[in-house]
Structure 1
Amino acid sequence: MQKFVGTGVALVTPFKKDFSVDTEALVRIVNHVIDGGVEYLVVLGTTAESATLTAEEKELVIKTVLQANNKRLPVVLGVGGNNTAEVVNELKTRNFEGIDAILSVSPYYNKPTQEGIYQHFKAIGENSPVPVIIYNVPGRTGSNVLPATVIRLANDVKNIIAIKEAAGDLVQAMKIIQHKPEGFLVISGDDMITLPMVLAGGAGVISVIGEGYPKQFSEMVRLGLLHKVADAYALHYQIADSIDMIFEQGNPAGIKEIFKALNLCENTVRLPLVNVNDDLAKRLANFTKNIIS
């Protein structure tokens, strides 16, 4: 699964001012991140505001990304939910042409036990026609996929090949890295701790800031994978303040301000999300101007 080592980016869904999907802007963003050197694309994750997209809009986003990518990079599709049977049905009926793997979030709202989480992902792994990346993000789901559960799934279900670990807990990530089977990938879901996770044995990141500044962030990850620590941290600290800023008032409102500053898309988000305030917008625009100059 070397294709998922390095930097993947969680693509936004750009909207026009009338809140419709802006496919032309999405093409620009895909080209921006590919030209910036990222290793793969992630479609319809949290950053894509997928919770507010209709079924038709989701298909439009997938089609647009696949056409713009034109098989240049691997593509990961977000397919998850808190109704296991519904997720399995989508896996059985969806066309996966052009899709290299799925990213599947741990069930949210239901707050299942670890056994429930295990059985959920076991069902997904056994029914997915493409490899599965578990997505653990307790801050959004209300439950944490513990290292023992991850290791159990990694050993029991061959089609589960990685975890996007976004608990914000480096020690938890290190426990998974320590005990995982050979070939299983531990991918950072937290931009700020990506480099230390990579240096501890992680495989890279699925990033938000990496789509704003793909050249700098993907190079940082590559340097980390090569254990060129000083050079990697120099890039980390160059970018670090912007990571705090893009999440300060919610994702993807922050990263869309960077895209607006780069003239790639509008900063429009759909309710219940709202735009960042003027102060943060100015700070992000100034940071972006300085980092790309």
Structure 2
Amino acid sequence: MSNDQRTTPRALRPGIYAPIPSFFLEQTEDLDLQALEKHVVMTARAGAGLVLAGSMGEAIHLARTERIALIKAARRALDAAGFTDRPIIAGIGAGSTRETIELAHDAAEAGADYGIAIISGYFAGAIAGNKQALKAYWKEVSEKSAIPVLVYNYPGASGGINLDSDIIAELAKECPNLAGVKLTCGDVGKLTRIATVVSDPSFTSLYPRKHANAPFLIFGGYTDFILPTAMVNGHGAITGLANVAPNAVVKLFELCEELRTNPSLLPEAQRLQGIIARADATIAKASIAGTKALLEKLYGYGGKPRRPLPPIETFTAQALWDHPHTQDLVRLEQELREM
């Protein structure tokens, strides 16, 4: 069922969301939807949400029809596994505002509940310092999108464009169809400032959302500050490490949530945060190819990125697997799976 046929999107809740890789067949580089469906169900069973066609999903390498195919396959797999209420967030960022809006409509028709939009960095020199142009992009996209939209702030993938907390807070107030932000800038101070605005008790009444079950949530883009995020009223993370060790990352988030009423859990939360933060920093250096190599090692699928993104060298992949930070994470994940 497409979201044009649904009265409201599936609820967007605080938590951990995995930006799902796009898997490709070895010889043809065609989409490997079978691997995608396995991975979607695996992460869902661990308690993680999912994002399709984002940076980890190599959105820049996908045709419009492939984005649609990913969403339909993921929705089919989730529903078949009993996760009918689990929302799908789909990457809709494109070179122009016009195409971003078109991708948002495609995503809604294919079964996505939310879009996440990054601004193109191709003309960053003309846009980065233009507050009006930056705000206009997410304003127009959210106003014309059939589904709620999240802001994706990732300077590394947008030519260095880095939204400040004032712009994001203003967008949250002015755009009722915006449902949150992902901060892959890694700026905990920025996250804190935005959280101060949207967690204020008056925010919901003064700036109501278009959909009551699509609140404005603030997600980090890495796992190395999930604990600090919780302490300033943030809402979790959209993080590539949740592909490799979803149970471990979800457990950390759950501990952080319980800390609000049970401070005695702080030492255990700090322990898990340390293991996960070290692994995140180590694995992130190997980028998409490294994550896929670890998935291949752990779960039997992963493959290579789509060219021109190079695969990881065999020696480097083995070194990544053998690294003590990776092995600490793998042990933690296995322990939690067996509980």
Name the TM-score, length of structure 2 as normaliser.
Answer: 0.80
8 Å CA contact 1:170, 1:197 repeated in 2: yes
Mapped partners of 1:196, 1:149: distance in 2 = 22
**1:35 equivalent in alignment to 2:52:** no
1:154 maps to 172
**1:24 equivalent in alignment to 2:34:** yes
Letter in 2 for 1:259: L
Aligned residue pairs: how many? 291
Mapped partners of 2:31, 2:170: distance in 1 = 40
8 Å CA contact 1:25, 1:264 repeated in 2: no
Mapped partners of 2:109, 2:227: distance in 1 = 32
SS in 1 for 2:238: strand
**1:87 equivalent in alignment to 2:100:** yes
- Of 161, 185, 207, which aligns to 2:217? 185
Change in Cα spacing, 1:184 to 1:243, as seen in structure 2 (3 Å) is same
Where do 5+ consecutive residues of structure 2 fail to align? 1-9, 205-214, 260-264
**1:231 equivalent in alignment to 2:268:** yes
8 Å CA contact 2:92, 2:100 repeated in 1: yes
Flag the structure with more relative contact order, 1 or 2, with Cα contacts below 8 A and sequence separation at least 6: 1
SS in 1 for 2:179: strand
Compute the displacement of 1:159 (Å). Answer: 0.7
Mapped partners of 2:292, 2:50: distance in 1 = 17
Q: What does 1:94-243 correspond to in 2, within 5 Å?
A: 95-96=108-109, 98-111=111-124, 112=127, 113-141=130-158, 142-180=160-198, 181-182=203-204, 183-227=215-259, 228-243=265-280
**1:53 equivalent in alignment to 2:62:** yes
Letter in 1 for 2:291: I
Mapped partners of 1:67, 1:136: distance in 2 = 29
8 Å CA contact 1:203, 1:225 repeated in 2: no
Compute the displacement of 1:203 (Å). Answer: 0.4
SS in 1 for 2:225: helix
Q: Percent identity, aligned pairs only?
A: 23
Structure whose CA Rg is larger: 2
Compute the displacement of 1:231 (Å). Answer: 2.1
**1:276 equivalent in alignment to 2:312:** yes
Compute the displacement of 1:217 (Å). Answer: 0.4
Compute the displacement of 1:97 (Å). Answer: 5.3
Mapped partners of 1:13, 1:94: distance in 2 = 16
Change in Cα spacing, 1:257 to 1:238, as seen in structure 2 (3 Å) is same
SS in 2 for 1:198: helix
**1:3 equivalent in alignment to 2:12:** yes
Alpha-carbon displacement from aligned partner over 1:78-121 (angstroms, at most 9, x marks no partner): 11123112222333465435322111113322221221110111
Mapped partners of 2:72, 2:300: distance in 1 = 19
Letter in 1 for 2:89: V
CA RMSD, 1 decimal: 2.0
Mapped partners of 1:267, 1:89: distance in 2 = 30
Mapped partners of 2:292, 2:222: distance in 1 = 18
Letter in 1 for 2:43: V
Change in Cα spacing, 1:158 to 1:31, as seen in structure 2 (3 Å) is same
Alpha-carbon displacement from aligned partner over 1:178-220 (angstroms, at most 9, x marks no partner): 2233453111112222321222211011111012101110110
**1:76 equivalent in alignment to 2:108:** no
8 Å CA contact 1:10, 1:207 repeated in 2: yes
Letter in 1 for 2:281: D
Name the TM-score, length of structure 1 as normaliser.
Answer: 0.91
